[in-house]
Amino acid sequence: MLGYPKNLYILPLDHRDFLVKILFGLKGALNVKDHRLMEKYRELVFDGFYAAYKKLNNKPELAILVDEEFGSSVLNSARKKKIVFCLSTEKSGQSGFTLEYGRDFGKHIEKFHPPIVKALVRYNPANIQVNRIQLKRLKQLSDWCHTYGYKFLLEPLVPPTVADLEKCHGRQDLFDKNIRPRLAQTMVKETQLSGVEPDIWKIEAFESTKDWEKIIPVIRRGQSRSEVGIVLLGRNASFAQVKRWFNLAPREQLNGFAVGRTVFLRAVEEFYAKKINRPAAVKIIADNYAELVRYWTK
């Protein structure tokens, strides 16, 4: 059955190119030492998540999202501890959706047996040719997940085109408020019409409740999609902004959230700079994640 009719509070820790650039100032391949450091940061964030997990009561609703490249040990730990985990499948840093392991994607999913398989795509309806290619690849993944019993989570980011920004005088905030909500609805419709059927949509937060109320029925249109899940994406915003978005969202109609960098980035940066020790970093991450879970569910 299509959908995910349960609450879901995800701590994403699958950031790759972004985190490499922030920590090492690099793009591209890492040396062995830095690769291991990235693995250690995955483990650090997971330990923070797990510290919160042990204290929170709603354990079946708590989840992590991680990649194989730097997070294999975390994926294995989550599975052993019976924690809900999502596995990233996209190749990081690409302008168009590309599977990290190409035709072998299925083997890599089956290696970890994640409850949820995730794909990130950048999709502006104006990019017709790129979208056609992306949707074909996403349908392959979507069909495979449904065939083999995996829940499929789609994270569509809607970036502005040059023309969009011109309409907004170059201001991202005006694009997010005035243009992105409409484009997001079109993106959902085009994705569904192409045969891509996510069990869960990870949607960028909106600046008004009205925009949520417009996109939710589009995502869940038709009887077969009535149980499809929706989680709010945090967008690396401040704690205050994330909570503001939580307040604007019709939480009773959503399944939860996926907030990562807001939770862990400062702790990881300070630990990397040797400003704090590992236990302190773990505590910051644990406290931040637990605070957001409690705020959403209050």
Question: What value does the mean pLDDT take over residues 79-93?
Answer: 96
Q: pLDDT tier at 241 (50, 70, 90 boundaries)? A: very high
Residue 93 binned pLDDT confidence (cut-offs 50, 70, 90):
confident
21, two tokens: 């650039």
Give residue 137's identity as a one-letter amino acid code: R
- Average pLDDT estimate for 65-73: 96
> In whole angstroms, what is the distance from residue 255 CA to residue 238 CA?
21
The two three-digit tokens of residue 108, written as one number = 């890599």
DSSP secondary structure code for residue 150 in this structure: -
Report the Cα–Cα distance between both ends of the chain, in Å, rounded.
30
The residue written with tokens 């644990």 in the block is 286
d(CA 65, CA 204): 16
pLDDT of residue 83: 98
pLDDT over 70 for what percent of the chain?
99
| Alpha-carbon span 63 to 56, nearest angstrom | 12
Whether 73 shows a pLDDT value over 80: the answer reads yes
Question: Where do the structural domains in the chain lie, given as residue ranges?
Answer: 8-297
Most confident of 26-30, 92-96, 153-157: 153-157
Q: What is the pLDDT of residue 27?
A: 59
Quick one: pLDDT at residue 26? 62
Contact (Cβ atoms closer than 8 angstroms) between residue 227 and residue 3: yes
Q: What is the mean pLDDT of the chain?
A: 96
* Tokens representing residue 56 in the block: 């929170």
What average pLDDT score do residues 15-39 get?
80
pLDDT at 30 over 80: no
Residue 251 is given by DSSP the state G
- CA nearest to 118, candidates 137, 159, 90: 90
Model confidence at 18, pLDDT cuts 50, 70, 90, reads confident
User: Is the pLDDT assigned to residue 94 strictly greater than 90?
Assistant: no
List, for residues 258-271, the tens digit of each pLDDT value: 999 999 999 999 99
Q: What is the pTM of this model?
A: 0.95
Angstrom distance (rounded) from CA 280 to CA 285? 9
What ranges in the chain are assigned the alpha helix state H?
17-24, 32-55, 68-80, 105-112, 128-148, 162-167, 172-178, 180-193, 209-219, 239-248, 261-272, 278-297
Predicted local distance difference test score (pLDDT) of residue 19: 81
Is the confidence at residue 31, as pLDDT, over 90? no
Q: What percent of the chain has pLDDT over 90?
A: 90
Give the confidence band of 17 by pLDDT, cuts at 50, 70, 90: confident
Number of neighbours of residue 248 by Cβ within 10 angstroms:
17
User: How does residue 28 score in pLDDT terms, banded at 50, 70 and 90?
Assistant: low
Q: For residue 87, which of 53, 113, 51, 59 has the smallest C-alpha distance?
A: 113
pLDDT (0 to 100) of residue 24: 75
Amino acid 125: pLDDT: 98
- Which of 228, 230, 244, 238 has the alpha carbon at shortest distance from 296? 244
Locate 228 and state its tokens: 């499809």
Domain 8-297, CATH among 1.10.3720.10, 3.40.50.620, 3.20.20.70, 3.90.226.10: 3.20.20.70
Q: What is the pLDDT of residue 293?
A: 98
- For residue 92, the model assigns a pLDDT of 87
Q: Which candidate, 288, 205, 289, 292, places its Cα nearest to that of 249? A: 205
Measured CA distances, 246 to 47, 93, 118, 243, 294 (Å): 25, 28, 22, 5, 12
Which residues on adjacent β-strands are paired with residue 4?
none
Classified as helix, coil or strand, 97 is coil
